[in-house]
Amino acid sequence: MGKYSNDVLNVLVAKEYELKDKWIRENYYKDLGEKEWIEKLKEEIKNILPNKKSLKLKEKLKNFNSDNFNKEKEKIQQELEEAEGINFIVFCDEDFPKKNLQNQNLQEDYPIFLAYKGDIKLLKQERIGIAVIGLTNPTQEIEEMEKEIIKCLEDENINLVSGLAFGCDQIAHEESLKINLPNIAILPSTIQNILPKKNQDLANQIAQEGLLLSEYYREPKDHYEQIARYIKRDRLQALFSDMIILIASYSSKDTQKDKKLDSGAKHAMQKAKDYGTKRAVMYDEKFAENEMFNLNRDLIKEALEGIKETKQINEINNINLKHKDFKILNSLWSKKILTKFIKVHNQKIIDYPKGKQGDLFDHNALD
């Protein structure tokens, strides 16, 4: 049986009528009376009805009344109760995560509903979230470099965040579990039907000490909705992290030529930039001809445009010494950068217990 509040049911009914998350967040509050909520829904449905093009949705909206509200609510309640061992929360519930919510840049993308299995308190603001993402078919050399980066993250205050996909995501989860880091796996699927299915055992292991997280309690209606869920998952990796590390990925140009090369990493890295989340990429000059690092190279070129010219001998040194929000990780820099980031972040949390955090990269201290 799933655990949920009455607020969860009321919010999910509103989402069934395709009301926008922003409107729901602004108009619903904890323990709002059902009659008052229904009246608010009726009023908003009148406003949005003329703009809807789907005949099926228009008909559903036209027929909205208290009886249909209750039917939808009962149907949702039955589905949640059948979800054994899974919990459901909405934005007004006490344990709903508020990590990084003070960031104005990400508030529009912040979820209002989450399904989870495990410890939701891992998403408290004071814990450091470090996301590690990348392509699904890394070479042995890439795997070994990624493992060295994961070793640098050993700290009692860190959550390893990733997406449970094959390749770089799976390596990040497995290697971080070896050093007892709590894992947060953000899913593009329901928790009842883990994707990819072959990683079900890994998901079970993560849920024991960490957290499985999803925005969904129902299966997608079609293939296109499933694709959209992957993209939405990518944003949550950036949203719930304090730093996001790209191991390796093909560029946008590569994925336009062959969609099978799309790991979703470019979506997560772009969202991280939009939110102001610290970004890092794994790179070494020995990979100069390796197309698996095309996205890494694109991001490095972009970062170079944002810093003034220096007398440093190469691009990696220039970026790591001068850029506030973007770093390059390799055998020389990974330990130094990540150790400093963790140390400064932990100190900032002590100094600013209410979440008023400053520049957590403290790049000048890397000199």
Alpha-carbon distance 268 to 243, whole Å? 11
Alpha-carbon distance 220 to 202, whole Å? 23
Alpha-carbon distance 94 to 195, whole Å? 29
Angle 10-12-18 from CA coordinates, rounded to 5°: 115
Alpha-carbon distance 243 to 130, whole Å? 5
Residues in contact with 23: Cβ distance below 8 Å, sequence separation at least 6, in sequence order: 44
Alpha-carbon distance 86 to 116, whole Å? 6
Per-residue model confidence (pLDDT) at position 356? 43
Which residue reads 């990400």 in tokens?
106
Alpha-carbon distance 90 to 30, whole Å? 10
Strand partners for 59: none
Q: Is the bond leading into 97 cis (omega within 30 degrees of zero)?
A: no
Name the token pair of 282: 């794994």
Q: Tell me which amino acid residue 149 is.
A: I
Alpha-carbon distance 105 to 96, whole Å? 19
Residues in contact with 107: Cβ distance below 8 Å, sequence separation at least 6, in sequence order: 101
Query: How distant, in Å, are the alpha carbons of 49, 60, 85, 173, 242 from that of 45?
Result: 6, 10, 34, 43, 38
Per-residue model confidence (pLDDT) at position 318? 87
Alpha-carbon distance 244 to 362, whole Å? 16
pLDDT tens for the chain, 367 residues long, are 569 999 999 999 999 999 999 999 999 999 999 999 999 999 999 999 888 888 888 899 999 999 999 999 999 999 999 998 999 999 999 999 999 988 888 888 999 999 999 999 999 988 999 999 999 999 999 999 999 999 999 999 999 999 999 999 999 999 999 999 999 999 999 999 999 999 999 999 999 999 999 999 999 999 999 999 999 999 999 999 999 999 999 988 877 777 676 668 999 999 999 999 999 999 998 888 899 999 999 999 999 987 766 666 688 888 988 898 999 999 999 999 999 999 988 887 666 544 443 443 444 444 4
Strand partners for 128: 158
Per-residue model confidence (pLDDT) at position 263? 66
- Predicted TM-score of the model (pTM): 0.91
What is 41-66 written as a DSSP string?
Answer: HHHHHHHHGGG---HHHHHHHHT--H
Per-residue model confidence (pLDDT) at position 350? 64
Strand partners for 329: 282
Per-residue model confidence (pLDDT) at position 219? 95
